[in-house]
Each structure stands twice: as C-alpha cells, then as structure tokens.
Amino acid sequence: MGFLRDSLSIFKKNKLVFKERRQHSGNVYTFEFEKPEDLNWLPGQHGLFTVTHKKVKPPTKPFTIASSPKDDVIGLTTKIDGNPSEYKQALLELEPGMEMHMSGPVGSFYIGDESSGVFIAGGIGITPFRAILRENDSTALNPKQSMTLLYVDGEGTFTYKDELEDIGGQEGIAVHFMESSENLYKELELLPRTGAEKYFIAGPYSMVESVAKHLISTGIPKKNIKKETFIGY
Ligand SMILES: Cc1cc2nc3c(=O)[nH]c(=O)nc-3n(C[C@H](O)[C@H](O)[C@H](O)COP(=O)(O)OP(=O)(O)OC[C@H]3O[C@@H](n4cnc5c(N)ncnc54)[C@H](O)[C@@H]3O)c2cc1C
C-alpha cells in the first residue's frame, strides 16, 4: 500500500515558492516554502527537492520535510559548511518568490496512530522527529501511546533545542539530549520496555547502523526498528 502510494506520489511535482531562510547554530539552515494547498504528507516522510533557478549537478536531492502538516510551510533543514556542494550553494542563493520543485512525499518513516515510539536522532537526523513531534502534541496522543526522543549530537548544537524542550514537557512525550553514543546506550537501558515500542533511527549511515546493531544485541526485534539513513553525511 505504502509502495503504491509512493509510486504514485513520486510523479507528482509540486511547485514550491520560497519564503525565507533561518539560520540555527552550527551551520544549520532551515529553508521555508509556501505550502501548496493540495500537498499532504505524513510527518517523517521526505520529498525529492529540485533546484530550478540555476543549473547544478545533481539538481535533485532527498530531504525530510522538517515541518509538520499542521504548519503552513514546507520546511527543509540542512547543514551547510564553509565549502558547500553546488546544490547547497544554490539553496543559499534562494530569494523570496523564487521556486523549487518537490516530488513526493515518499517513504515509510512515520509512526502509526497506535504505536509508541522511541526516536533516536543523530545530528541533522533530528528533522523527521521534529516533524513528528510537532504534529503529535499531547492532544493527539492516545493514553496508551508515548514518544521518547533521544537526540545525540557530538557537537552539542542540538538544532530546534528550545522547541523540542517545550514539546518534551507535554504529557506522554519525553525529550533527552546527549553528546555521545555511550550516553545514548545508558539512556536506552533506563527506558521501560513493553515489547510493543517501535524504534526509529535517523542520521548518518554509520550512526544508524551502529545504533540498530546495538538495539538488536539488547533483544529488540529487527521488525520493531525503522531506519532512515541520510546518505551524503
Ligand atoms: C531519505 C533521506 C532524507 C534526508 N533528509 C535530510 C535532511 O532532512 N537534512 C539533510 O541535511 N540531509 C538530508 N538527507 C541527505 C541529503 O540528501 C544530502 O545527501 C546531504 O544533505 C548532503 O548534501 P550535500 O549537497 O552537502 O552532499 P554532497 O554533494 O555529497 O557534498 C558533501 C560535501 O562534499 C563537498 N562538495 C561537494 N560538492 C562540492 C563542490 N562542487 N565544491 C566544493 N565542495 C563540494 C562539500 O564539502 C560538501 O559538504 C537525506 C537523505 C535521505 C536519503
């Protein structure tokens, strides 16, 4: 069903009008676009974003939609260092009113209404969880559901920290920040397990794979682990 929906939506090219750019600490930027009225997605999904205002190679890259469907914008949050790729240089040159295209949404990295989630973010891998947590505030959670975010950032910059701390104060939602995988593994040990939780991991390949391996070694079944690997980091 998800595959069929993805196959169809991938052909849908949405025109996005650029609104504004926001800079976070640690060379992280959010690019916000007006939300087309007929564009819907499940928080955690990604789009294929195409630069159209200049020729760059490759012109299209996948990015998680970092905003929630409740927001009136499409947000793309990414890290841009001092030596950016052509693609990210083009993002920095966007002016209000200019356009990009987005195909999708695609992907199965989202949480079902019924399940509780343990979300593990590595650095910029926070983007899908920011969208999911913005969408699922306490009014949206059913009483049996809980969400725990474990956000690991070795640089300690923690994009969206203030916002996530606010969301973390709400019933059923816990948010923890840590700077090393050792601390992540300690936090994981402290979490109660019912066996029904789904574990979601997002971030660079090596981080996602090592955390998944760790979870499996502590008895979490593979079927309860969802991974979103940010190729390119
Ligand atoms: C499902 C999915 C979701 C994703 N979601 C996100 C997200 O939410 N946020 C996010 O940031 N990423 C996300 N990614 C990764 C994203 O698609 C990019 O691969 C990533 O951001 C790196 O992009 P880049 O243009 O810097 O990469 P590359 O082109 O691989 O560049 C990497 C580095 O190489 C150097 N470089 C490359 N080209 C040049 C050049 N022409 N001149 C000089 N130096 C150069 C630069 O130092 C650059 O930083 C996602 C990936 C997937 C698969």
Q: Is 226 in the pocket of ligand 1 (CB under 6 A)?
A: no
Q: Is 127 in the pocket of ligand 1 (CB under 6 A)?
A: yes
**Positions of CATH 3.40.50.80 in the chain:** 117-229
With 90 as the cut, is the pLDDT of residue 169 above it?
no
Q: Kindly report the protein residue whose alpha carbon is nearest to atom 18 of ligand 1.
A: 232
Q: Read off the pLDDT of each residue in 40-69 and give the average, rounded to a whole number.
A: 97
Pick the CATH number of 117-229 from 2.170.120.12, 3.40.50.80, 1.25.40.340, 3.90.550.10: 3.40.50.80
**What does the longest C-alpha to C-alpha distance in the chain come to?**
51
CA 232 to ligand 1 centroid distance, Å: 5
Query: Quick one: which of 34, 11, 18 has its CA closest to 103?
Result: 11
With 70 as the cut, is the pLDDT of residue 7 above it?
no
Residue 189 buriedness (CB in 10 A; 0-12 / 13-18 / 19+):
exposed
Q: Read off the pLDDT of each residue in 124-133 and give the average, rounded to a whole number.
A: 97
Helix (H) or strand (E) holding 184: helix 181-190
CA 183 to ligand 1 centroid distance, Å: 27
Q: What is the percentage of the chain residues whose pLDDT exceeds 90? A: 81
**pLDDT grade, residue 6 (50/70/90)?**
low
With 70 as the cut, is the pLDDT of residue 125 above it?
yes
Mean pLDDT of the chain: 93
CATH 3.40.50.150 fits 2-106, yes or no: no
CA distances from 22 to 58, 65, 75, 77, 126 (A): 24, 15, 10, 9, 16
**pLDDT grade, residue 4 (50/70/90)?**
low
CA–CA gap between residue 167 and residue 134 (Å, rounded): 8
Looking only at the bridges linking them, the beta strands covering 13-23 and 225-229 are: unpaired
**Positions of CATH 2.40.30.10 in the chain:** 2-106
CA 88 to ligand 1 centroid distance, Å: 8
Q: Is 62 in the pocket of ligand 1 (CB under 6 A)?
A: yes
**pLDDT score for 181:** 95
